[in-house]
Amino acid sequence: MAQSGLCVVTGANGGLGKAVSIELARRGLPVMMVFRDLSRGELVRHEVVQKSGNEAVSLNVADLASLDDVRRLAHDLAERDSIATLIHTAGIYFGTRRLTIDGLEAMFAVNHLAPYLLTRLLLPQLGHAAPARVVLVSAPSTSIPDFADLQGAQSFRPLRAFGASKMGNLLFAFALARRVQPGRITVNAFHPGLMKSTLMQEARAPIRALLALFARSPEKAGRWLADLVTGGTPAPNGAFVALNKVRRAPPAAMREDLQEQMWKASAELVGLPA
């Protein structure tokens, strides 16, 4: 199911977000990139237009660490043309526990809650643009979230918290895939593999060294992600795509009880009906 309408990409300031924006624009698709910083956004937008030769590249500014800003972003996007593709590449990693303006643990808020809220608010627009696609960039995480301590207030280990946020992406993707109307919206989780980026700059030295040795360029992952969006990599609704192939997701991510628990907990935190 190839897409042809507006593609919204979060986390487009660099890494995979910028790479997939360039690749989608090269393929003639209109792209809207979401940034936290306007000046950085203007620079990247110019780069994407220059490298792709496509002028249909726009930007929107939003801080995904703020639920109010996510709601404002959804409102702005809802007033535009129908959205055919929503790609969540935004992600953060902190070596210490930090809280957002909403009092939420930052990695959980940005990596999981922001895409959960934005996607749910934009479902009507995605439905109008059918066939549409939602892609959550994740990883084959095995870290089951502690639903009694989602904010890490009682116990916080950065790698585990990051892994739990990525498991949150998987649980949400598969729960959403069971809720959308078949043939109108396709939901996938995408794993780009080890990739060069600034994401893990607060990780411990051995992890950074491993990434430096084995991580690939974001450009290759951007092409794989663009293939998924444009139909070059066929993937059915609810599929987990690792690199450029459909793979089996981690067993915990396929548990419907955990999917529903994450859906309901997230809905409560963002003030939406479950």
Tens-place pLDDT, residues 1-30: 455 689 999 998 878 999 999 999 999 999
pLDDT confidence band for 40 (50 / 70 / 90): confident
Judge residue 257's burial from the number of C-beta atoms within 10 Å of its C-beta, 0-12 exposed, 13-18 middle, 19 or more buried: exposed
The correct answer on CATH 3.20.20.210 for the domain covering 6-270 is no
pLDDT score recorded for residue 100: 97
Per the prediction, the chain carries an average pLDDT of: 91
Tell me the pTM: 0.93
Which of the 8 DSSP states describes residue 94? -
Tens-place pLDDT, residues 138-176: 999 999 999 999 999 999 999 999 999 999 999 999 999
**Structure tokens that stand for 85 in this block:** 């593709």
- Count CB-CB contacts under 10 A for residue 90: 25
DSSP string, 170-230: HHHHHHHHTTSPTTTEEEEEEE--SB-SSTTTTS-HHHHHHHHHHPBPHHHHHHHHHHHHH
Tell me how far apart the alpha carbons of residues 173 and 119 are, in angstroms, rounded to a whole number: 10
pLDDT score recorded for residue 39: 86
Amino acid at 204: R
DSSP string, 148-167: T-TT-SS---HHHHHHHHHH
* Beta partners for residue 134, in sequence order: 86, 187
**Structure tokens that stand for 164 in this block:** 């739990």
- Count CB-CB contacts under 10 A for residue 68: 11
How large a percentage of the chain has pLDDT more than 70?
Answer: 90
Q: What dihedral do alpha carbons 267, 272, 273, 274 form, nearest 10°?
A: -20
pLDDT confidence band for 187 (50 / 70 / 90): very high
CA R_g for the chain: 17
